[in-house]
Amino acid sequence: MTINVKQTLQTLRASDFKHWVTTFWLVKRKLSQQQAKYSVLKVDTDAKLEKKLKQAVTDKVLDTDYQLDDYDFLTADQDKGLLTIASSDTDVMLIQAEIEKGTANAKVEQYEELLDSWAMVIKLEYQDKTIYAYRKINKFNNAARLSHISFIQFKDKELKDLDEKEIFTIDTQVDFFTYEGTTFIANKKEFESTLNFRAGMEKNRDVVLQEFVDLKILSDASLLKEHIGANLNYLRKVSSIQKSGYYKDAKFLEELIKVNDLKKWGLTVENGAIVINEDSIDLVLTLLNNGRLESPINHEIFDASVKKKVT
């Protein structure tokens, strides 16, 4: 993370949000061959809801208990962590480009248009400054599911059925928000789900495995690809391998093979290339991400999927 990102957030937190204008948007998503296409609808809100939506965003922005850290595919529990990633590396740029079309977008006129939304966006803007805050829409906005749900109120010491069909439910938590080219992530799981990160990780898988073969790191990657498949845990590992880039360092690979022989880790190497078999798949993914670590205190060795470099 750059110092500029920290300074940007500090400057934003010093803002007086009183005059920032709030608008509310719904995001629709369609998938075609794992490619996401987004469209948006503007939704008018009354003053009370508008105030609540703005408060949800400013509460998240102003919460100084959140500690900034870089987004990684493999991260520990976030517990008051705010992960950062360049917005250009995500689909938020596609969504925000749609919102920036302004009045060219349709406005919700009928209740049915609210349903089957993918996410909601609260946009705050003042002069040349803009915050986009995102929340994945909960499951109670689908017509089929709503037909099986009863909305009930406890009143006068008894439960009463609310005979109201045009109910749209949201919660005003913020999963992530973007400002000046950076996305700040409070809920990693929902961030990845909202922006179709699995498809991106599957692309990473295919690129990295081909590079393994091209660089003659592996003799064949077909078994590894079959093993990884669409498993989210393995997709995270291979995406982390791509991001760290250790496999592109010839010296690193030379040392890996040397230490494997010395420590008897069990990798089979033929003509300088690692041979994949069923028993070595997890080990290969760990080692290529430099995840086998030794304690300098008692020299115990650990496989660490989550690690943070000490500088």
- Can you tell me the mean pLDDT for 107-119? 90
- What is the C-alpha separation between 190 and 188, in angstroms, rounded? 6
Exposed / middle / buried, residue 164 (Cβ in 10 Å: 0-12, 13-18, 19+): exposed
Q: Say which residue the tokens 């079309």 belong to.
A: 101
| Rounded mean pLDDT, 54-71 | 91
What are 92's two structure tokens?
Answer: 């938020």
67 pLDDT tier (thresholds 50, 70, 90): confident
Q: Looking at the whole model, is its pTM more than 0.75?
A: yes
Q: Tell me the average pLDDT of the chain.
A: 88
State the average pLDDT over residues 5-15: 94
3-state helix, strand, coil in the chain (%, to 5): 40, 25, 35
**Quick one: pLDDT band at residue 302, thresholds 50, 70, 90?**
confident
What is the Cα–Cα distance from 70 to 305, expressed in whole angstroms? 16
Question: Is the pLDDT score of 146 beyond 70?
Answer: no
Say what the pLDDT of residue 17 is.
96
**Per-residue pLDDT, 246:** 95
Judge contact between 240 and 208, C-beta under 8 A. Answer: no
Given a cut of 90, whether residue 59 has pLDDT beyond it is yes
Neighbours of 6 (CB within 10 A): 12
In this prediction, residue 151 carries a pLDDT of 67
